[in-house]
Amino acid sequence: NYWEDLDLSSSGFSVEEFLREEQESEEDRLEQELKRLESLLEERRDIHSETVEELESKLDWYVERVEDLYHGFGGVQEERKERLKSKIEEFYSEIRSEKRQQWRDRTELEMEVREVEQALEEVRDEDELRKLLE
């Protein structure tokens, strides 16, 4: 009686259909994850570009101030030149830091994309194998 109770085919349950639906669900989930990661990559690129543009704009402003001061004379000017040069160095440092961070973010996201693509390929391969066995 126990084995008869476990016979799900009499109740209309199909193991093959269940597995196919689970596989389709997994494929859909992976495709959504892939789209999410690609969207994050694009968003990070945009943020990075915007940040670097802003830093470079500020850097240009400070460089122009230093150039203006180099055409002037006096001890006060020297003090301002040094402050401006220091600020310029900070902006160069911030730009380098931003580029390093963007590289790390992009590398991590691209690695996740590859993992999802690999999992998606495995699901699709399983589907092809299942179709061949039918």
Averages of pLDDT over runs of 10 residues in the chain (134 residues) are 56 72 90 94 93 93 86 70 90 94 93 93 82 70
Closest among 23, 17, 12 to 120, alpha carbons compared: 23
Cut 0.85: pTM above it? no
Distance CA 31, CA 15 (A): 24
| Inter-residue contact 116 to 34 (CB < 8 Å) | yes
Look at residue 4 in the predicted model and tell me its pLDDT: 55
Rg (C-alpha) for the chain, rounded Å, is 30
Residues counted in the chain: 134
* Residue ranges with strand state E in 4-123: none
Look at residue 50 in the predicted model and tell me its pLDDT: 94
Look at residue 48 in the predicted model and tell me its pLDDT: 92
Look at residue 126 in the predicted model and tell me its pLDDT: 83
